[in-house]
Amino acid sequence: MDRRARILVLYASQTGNAEDVAERIGREAARRAYLPQVMSMDRYDPRQLASENAVIFVASTTGQGDKPDTMKRFWKFLLNSSLSKRWLENVNYAVFGLGDSGYQKFNFVALKLDRRLADLGAKSIVYRGLGDDQHRSGYEGALDPWLASLWSAVRRIYGREEVSEPADDTAWQLDPPKYKIVYHQPHISSVAEGYSTVTTFSSLRLLSTADASFLQIKNMRLTDTSHEQDVRHLEFDLGGSGLEYAPGDVLGVFPAQSEEAVSRFMERCGLDEAALVSVEPANAVEGYQSVAPITLRTLVEAVMDISSASPRRYFFEVMMHFADAEHEKERLQYFATSEGRDDLYNYNQRERRTVTEVLEDFPSVRLPLEWLVQLVPRLRPRYFSISSSLKAHPNEIHLTMAVVQWTTPFKRKRQGLCSTWLAQLDSKTGVVPVWVTKGILKLPRPSVPLILVGPGTGCAPFRAFIEERAAIAASQPVAPILFFFGCRYSAKDFLYKEQWQAFAQDRGVLSQENGGGFFVAFSRDQPRKIYVQHRIREQSKLVYKLIEDGAAIFVSGSADKMPADVAQAFDEIAVEMGDPRAAPKKLEALGRYVVEVWT
């Protein structure tokens, strides 16, 4: 029987960062002679929590204070009113959160989790760690000092001296890889060659698979060609599939990587693209099913993000062990230390270097395939607000998508993987793997007035809302809608101009005759910049009337200053009208103020 002190590490991750932190905690625990178990919250039975001695929680916050999908079941259990205030009195715990201070509800999930654990009697052993993407070193700027405090606290819990350790992580012996690669003979017939057949990788979290693939039937640029931002209107044919969606739902898209990028990676790593392999856990995993052999090229294309994601810190630590050139080993060794953390962040994350680019910068490194499978970030789906109503467009799904492009601090041009791929697809032959998920924006019943704030591509879900209400209005009365839209120029990026104007005329759902209205803020057409919050203040009486009538307010768009500025505008209206019940925080508690933003 293993007599090492057990430490449970539970994580909830949406993009993989929290999982990466949890894995790091597990490695450091093992190096200190503890017995760690690292698990996603959705795989852990929360009923067993009271029997644990030490639990470390790592949780990310998504959007406006949202929990990762993998945490929802666990959190629902913790909120059970039948749990006593002493239920976790024998549990020692620590919480590290990952968030972005650019959002209003920075690290909201970690804050709520910490508070609830304390309410149930658990004992916090270290201060709550709050990682911030805005820090010059990213979330690791808070993680490194927090870990130092954590291990001191854990040592006190178990009442023993900690094992001696080197001054930095670079002197540790490399842990064995988590996966093993099995090579197969080419005569095997059950070779999986597409997204839909690589399903069993999901048990190892190597691939999220789509429900269906649909033909893209329209790809139209909405912005003027002279405008710096390329925004597309995309349409997909559901082809009688029976797939249904509601306004506010989100379309998940699994992107494809370019053939050139895949070939470049495989050439750098010396991989035989035709080799047939299967991936298996190095140690037995309960419930794991063997994977049908696939070619190495398919594995890279469908599973490993070699085109857009930057490798994580552990990637550089492992690379150090496989570097033949001394100067490369020294640089990698420096990157793996706390002193090199900021330089690594500037080199890697801020420049958004891909795995291939990093490997090309260290040509003497030859990583075995087992390590590549473990360390290369997973190719993850992208999510877009559906911008159409099924009532208005039977058998179709529409998206409103900005083609992502930016310049790094060192003036390197970068492109978004998924948006660039979708924009370049042939509208006659392009097939896209997609699935529908529920979004946080839910259209209320037709009798509820709406106040919609959606500048730029934030208008996407509200196009669905407005089209749905217009379709319903053909057979029954609907409540008024106020829609505040914003863009830079009236002649360049006024998305869906004709459609909005049509809805605002002839007693349409946005018309003033029906108690609604459509208001546009052009920020660059005049010397003074005008934004949606200015238009909201201008219409304060109309806005307040709809709030008095029970309106629901929805805000969608970029997570820069806009959400806070819009909330302030509504706050000022509540003060002006002398009604604190109309303030966003009060309305939010009633489910009448909902924000969906993205970075």
Question: Binding site for FAD: which residues?
Answer: 352, 382-385, 416-419, 598
Residues 277-292 as b or e (16 or more Cβ within 10 Å = b):
bbbbeeeeeeeeeebb
What is each CA distance from 304 to 39, 252, 369, 406, in whole angstroms?
22, 18, 12, 23
> How many Å is the Cα radius of gyration of the chain?
26
Size (the chain), residues: 599
Q: Retrieve residue 292's tokens.
A: 């049908």
Residue 437: CB atoms within 10 Å: 13
Question: Residue ranges for the binding site for FMN?
Answer: 13-18, 60-63, 133
**β pairing state of 431-437 and 250-253:** antiparallel
What residue has token string 């552990």? 314
Of 349, 252, 312, 307, give the one whose Cα is nearest residue 20.
312
Euclidean distance between the first and the last CA atom of the chain, given in angstroms as a whole number: 48
Do residues 216 and 425 touch, judged by C-beta distance below 8 A? yes
CA distance linking residue 340 with residue 316, whole number of Å: 11
Question: Residue ranges for the binding site?
Answer: 13-18, 60-63, 133, 352, 382-385, 416-419, 457, 523-524, 529-533, 565, 598
- Please give the single-letter amino acid code of residue 201: F
Of 565, 556, 562, 564, give the one whose Cα is nearest residue 595.
556
* DSSP 8-state symbol, 192: B
Do residues 91 and 551 touch, judged by C-beta distance below 8 A? no
Question: Residue ranges for the binding site for NADP(+)?
Answer: 457, 523-524, 529-533, 565
Q: Retrieve residue 569's tokens.
A: 């505008």
CA distance linking residue 83 with residue 74, whole number of Å: 13
